[in-house]
A and B are shown apart, each in its own frame.
Chain A
Amino acid sequence: MTVAINCEETGKKLQEVFPGSVISTGKADIVVDANKLLEVAGYLKNTAGLDFDYLTFVTAVDFLDYMEIVYRLVSLKHNQSLILKTRCYDRENPVVPSVVSLWRAAYYQEREIFDLFGIKFDGHPDMRRLLLWEGFVGHPLRRDYL
């Protein structure tokens, strides 16, 4: 069984290593500060015992007050999973660091989020629309689009 990692414990550990990085920990997810996302993600990927080397999905959810970016990480070695989240409060010019440098799996998915939610990923090598055409106005998956 792919076990969901103990988020409270991991959240505490992350808070110790990167003070101020963890905003909240839930039963199955950890919400981290967008400014510290890259450091936390790198730590999760490269620390022995965690080894989250496999990124399954990246997606976003628009809660109107803020937009949440969700990452599901899996460690093939230990067969455990973790849902990592980060929030983005700016709707006009939302920017979040890109994790493509850590997991190439995010390459198309971040482009897709940029296309449909308008969230820019800082550090992505090719930040363009993916599914819709160039010149399309708006970002359809935002809740206030229609």
Chain B
Amino acid sequence: MTIRTEPFYLNIGPQHPSTHGVFRLRVTLDGEVVVGLEPIIGYLHRGIEKLAETRTYTQNIPFTDRLDYLSSMTNNLAYCMAVEKVGAVKVPERAEYLRIIFSEIMRISSHMMAVGFFLNDLGAMMTPVLYMWREREKIMDMFEMVCGQRLLYNYMRVGGVSQDLPEAFMPAVKKFLAEMPRYIDEYDQLLAQNEILLARSKGVGVLSRDTAIAIGASGPVLRASGVKWDIRKMDPYSIYDRFDFEVPTGDSGDCYDRYWVRMLEIRQSVRILEQAIAQIPAKGPICADVPQFFRPPRGEAYGYVEAPKGNIGFYIVSDGSIAPYRVHIYPPTLINITALQDMVMGWKVADLIIIFGSIDVVLGEIDR
């Protein structure tokens, strides 16, 4: 006698703590094993690309904060760089340094959240996240000091940044940089050789090098698969060519590598920050002379940066008026989840949660 079997459909989300936002997964299960998966997105779609067409170039900057809200600074930067490319705006030296300093601090903050919540998904409920938040809190304080905001900064402007540093900032960032290596050592001591972390993430959710390139993955997800591709090195924007840093890569492309690449990148960001703090000119203009109603000439440009989660980019078409004709936001995390199906196939539901967590997604960016 044969036993009749049928697949089991499991719906995860959109309201579920492990989906990092409003993300829905329709999973096909054979027992406990994943045999099919379909991500369903759009619950947070706000139509930012459409809204941007009716606002001035400067008015669009706050929208970019609301994409990947865990790394608002890099979103600001990518958008401003795209507008500067269309309008051929030259950014003053001090502003370039300020931009780099805040992007790198943002990268540290974003990676700490990624690692913390990855461990949260693994079952280490809240403890690693609170360790990470200890340092993130200091970062938030620094951001608050300079632009009065703790999450959505709206700090960069076309041609520079909005405000100069307050007096208290430099001592705070120097203290932070002096302490940080010790804290990263502490995390590594707690996590890197942790038996549970190794057992749950080594060899789990492997993304091969070829698949990573084919799906156009970027950021730590691409580098964990062994592709040494970092825009800061390969296409140095702003003043990244002045700094000495390494591009860490993984070799197997599993969840552990993605975690480990992020930890190494935090160390490199600290290195870049130390150099930037030492090199920044003490005085100088922080923003180019750009009119409030900026009218770039007709044309198009693509500005992109190495954001913590991948290469976020803005493709802007200008028709010479005060509002952009078209703004396209290239969302790296949406591209990174293209291969989610390949990565989870054959793994159990509990592994699906950590594989998804290891990609580090923010739904504000996926849905726009």
Contact = CB atoms under 8 A, between A and B. Distances in A.
Contacts, number: 73
A44 to B, nearest CB: 15
B368 A79 contact: no
Contact of B42 (A62, A109, A130, A141): A130
Nearest to B47: A140
A17 interface: no
A133 B42 contact: yes
Interface string A124-136: 0000001111000
Interface in B8-47: 41-42, 45, 47
Nearest to A28: B300
Contacts of B325: 61
A2 B215 contact: no
B214 A104 contact: yes
Interface residues of A, number: 29
Q: What 7 A-B pairs are tightest by C-beta distance, nearest first? A: A105-B216, A2-B235, A131-B42, A59-B328, A57-B330, A131-B45, A104-B215
Contact of B338 (A108, A116, A133, A140): A108
A5 B335 CA distance: 24
Nearest to A140: B50
Interface stretch (B63-71, B128-136, B309-317): B309-317
Nearest to A115: B42
B345 to A, nearest CB: 15
A130 B335 contact: no
A76 B227 contact: yes
B294 interface: no
Interface string A74-89: 0010010001000000
A108 B304 CA distance: 19
Contacts of A107: 215, 338
14 contacts: A2-B234, A54-B216, A59-B315, A61-B328, A62-B326, A104-B216, A105-B335, A105-B338, A108-B335, A109-B335, A131-B41, A140-B47, A141-B49, A146-B50
A105 B214 contact: yes
Interface in A38-95: 53-57, 59, 61-62, 70, 72, 76, 79, 83
Nearest to A106: B216
A105 B311 CA distance: 13
A21 B335 CA distance: 29
A61 B234 contact: no
B236 interface: yes
B227 to A, nearest CB: 7
A103 B216 contact: yes
Nearest to B235: A2
Contacts of B335: 105, 108-109
A103 B304 CA distance: 20
Contacts of B317: 61
Given A1-B235, A79-B234, A57 B42 contact: no
A132 B330 contact: no
Contacts of A105: 214-216, 335, 338
A76 B229 contact: yes
B274 interface: no
A132 B42 contact: yes
A57 B315 contact: yes
A37 B211 CA distance: 23
Contacts of A54: 213, 216
Nearest to B210: A53
Contact of A76 (B41, B213, B367): B213
B89 interface: no
B234 A57 contact: no
B24 to A, nearest CB: 12
B79 interface: no
B259 interface: no
Contact of B334 (A62, A76, A108, A140): A108
Contacts of B236: 1
Nearest to A1: B235
Interface in B188-237: 211, 213-216, 218, 227, 229, 234-236
Interface string A1-27: 110000000000000000000000000
